[in-house]
Chains A and B, each alone.
Chain A
Amino acid sequence: MAGRADVRGPQSPETAQPAGTAQPAETAQPAGTAQPAGTAEALVEFVGAEKVFGNGFRALDPVDLALAPSEITVLVGPSGCGKTTLLRMAAGLTAPTGGRLVRRTERMSYVFQDPTLLAWRSIQANVELVARLQGVPRALRRERARQAIAMVGLSGFEKAYPRELSGGMRMRVSLARSVTSDPELLLMDEPFAALDEFNRDKMGAELLQLWRLRGLTVMFITHSISEAVRLGHQIAVLGSGPGHLVRVFRSPSPPSADGSAGRDDAALRALRTEISELLGGARI
């Protein structure tokens, strides 16, 4: 079952196949490889990527997964299923021990579960941090930081320090920082997990707004199936013991680029139920 995944075509959740039994179709692909809809070349591809740590612990069975440009791919699954390992591979922080990873951009940002801010620097300096480290000229990063701070609704807090802000506001600073370096790929490791439900929904909406404005490719980890269904164009379900890809779903009603199209709530609810049942099943 390891490394196998099925593709769920848009608007047709009922046609999802059990892992490893993908039928030839117009989205024909190598067995077990989930390709995004459309023809654009994937920005990130895991090709049989696996991870075995030095002590022999197998964290991840071979995974085939492709992230289409300008789409949000959500990884959902129980603790210890290798979600963060996949994300770290995409970031280049850890290398696959088998298979390969193809990443077609160097412009990327990482958002952690915690805000991960420099406590001794102002909000302005924190938002500029990654851009500064990457050598972006001062005037340009100032302007980008100003826009990013305004976008996350923190104008007026530029001179504040992280401890002077609430948890939700700090997370927004982290989000603003991640876009100031002008990334193409945004890697997010349970970024809203520590927030209350209200702030979580708000941050989810802000992420979608950001995606619409910038056309980012996003790889997003969450434990929340609702969040996965609400945010993702593509939802990869992982299982544990060792970590493996169970199935990849295409959202029947993905977020639209201009935000004008309504979402098919019934279809999203059906998808949420199906993922929930899948995660509640055996060997997940």
Chain B
Amino acid sequence: MTRSRLLWTVLPPVGALLLGLLGWQLVVVLFGIPGYLLPSPATMVHTALVELGTIGTPAWVTMREAYVGFLLAGVGGVLVGLMMSRWRLLERGLYPYLIVLQTIPIVAIAPLFVVWLGPGAVTNTVVAAMIALFPVAANTLAGLKSTDRNLVQLYTMAGASPLVRLLSLRLPGALPAILTGLRVAAGAAVIGAIVGEFVAGVGGGQGGLGYVITESAVRLRTPELFLAVLAACAVSLLLFGAVVLVERRLLGRWHESALPAEE
């Protein structure tokens, strides 16, 4: 990437952010809005510097729950997608319930997991995995089902076994769809972990960002609340960025989605 291209990519969003923060600061100062309603960016920076140590632990807790949940959903989703593409009966039997699972509000069923698994990290991880599973499974299934039929015939004529067809043709061909599913799952897993913490969060230094958000809201500690939200964004973006990096690495030279835009 050339220097001018880099500037062209980075400057607009950074400029917009700075302008937004400046406007925000002016509004808070000019209208004398109290900090518990809307803290100014300067207050938040101050809070961040003071509270960095205290937000670090909850962020780590949420990160662990979300990332483990994401990994479980990634592996589980690909396996479910593989099995459904292999056995049509399984797809017909299972797919409607996967959709049902996706349509149930996660907040509504998270308390059930608290009953079954108790409050804490395990429940939050399961909730994160559950919400992230569907996009991976559905995209894996769609990707595997859209293998080029001519290529399948070519493999069949060459006497390739089903396992060779899967590993050499169908899975690589489904990779763009699987990675799209993982992108969606990355955001969903963090949401799942935080929602889990809303209902199953524990205190005593073991609570994640969801717990901090709930507690800050109740105590009207709005700067901390904003800080926790920003930390949640960072946790989410980090995971999303990792998926994008993997995507670039795997699809970089051959798939349109990972190629730089044409000038």
Contact = CB atoms under 8 A, between A and B. Distances in A.
Interface of A: 91-93, 108, 110, 112, 114, 116, 118-120, 129-130, 133-134, 161-163, 181
A181 B157 CA distance: 12
Interface stretch (B43-51, B99-107, B147-155): B147-155
A120 B147 CA distance: 13
Interface string B129-164: 000000000000000000010110111111110001
B160 A133 contact: yes
Contact of B172 (A93, A110, A120, A130): A120
Interface in B200-257: 251, 253-256
Given A93-B153, A116-B150, A134-B158, 13 more contacts: A91-B157, A93-B157, A110-B157, A112-B150, A114-B150, A116-B151, A118-B173, A120-B173, A120-B255, A133-B155, A133-B159, A161-B254, A162-B254
A92 B157 contact: yes
Contacts of A130: 154, 157-158
A130 B164 CA distance: 12
A196 to B, nearest CB: 22
A133 B164 CA distance: 8
Contacts of A116: 148, 150-151, 154
A114 B151 CA distance: 10
15 contacts: A92-B157, A110-B154, A110-B157, A112-B150, A114-B150, A116-B148, A118-B151, A118-B172, A118-B173, A119-B255, A120-B172, A129-B154, A161-B254, A162-B254, A163-B254
Instruction: Tell me if A's interface is mostly helix, strand, loop or mixed.
Output: loop
A110 B153 contact: yes
Interface residues of B, number: 22
Interface in B151-189: 151, 153-160, 164, 168-169, 172-173, 175
Interface of B: 148, 150-151, 153-160, 164, 168-169, 172-173, 175, 251, 253-256
Contacts of B164: 133
Instruction: Tell me if B's interface is mostly helix, strand, loop or mixed.
Output: helix
Contacts of B158: 129-130, 133-134, 181
B253 A161 contact: yes
Nearest to B251: A120
The 8 closest A-B pairs by CB, nearest first: A133-B158, A116-B150, A112-B150, A119-B254, A120-B254, A133-B160, A130-B158, A161-B254
A172 B106 CA distance: 53
Contacts of A129: 154, 158
A27 to B, nearest CB: 33
A267 B43 CA distance: 92
A181 B155 CA distance: 13
B238 to A, nearest CB: 27
Nearest to B158: A133
A118 B169 contact: yes
Contacts of B153: 91, 93, 110
Nearest to A162: B254
Most buried by B among A108, A120, A181: A120
A91 B159 CA distance: 12
A276 to B, nearest CB: 30
B250 to A, nearest CB: 8
A120 B175 contact: yes
A116 B147 CA distance: 11
A108 B158 CA distance: 9
Contacts of A91: 153, 157
A93 B151 CA distance: 13
A181 B160 CA distance: 14
Contact of A134 (B148, B159, B256): B159
B152 to A, nearest CB: 10
A93 B160 CA distance: 14
A162 B256 CA distance: 12
A186 to B, nearest CB: 12
Nearest to A106: B159
A62 B202 CA distance: 77
Nearest to B253: A161
Nearest to A134: B158
B156 A93 contact: yes
A91 B158 CA distance: 11
A163 B253 CA distance: 9
Contacts of A108: 157
A78 B172 CA distance: 36
A112 B164 CA distance: 21
Contacts of A112: 150, 154
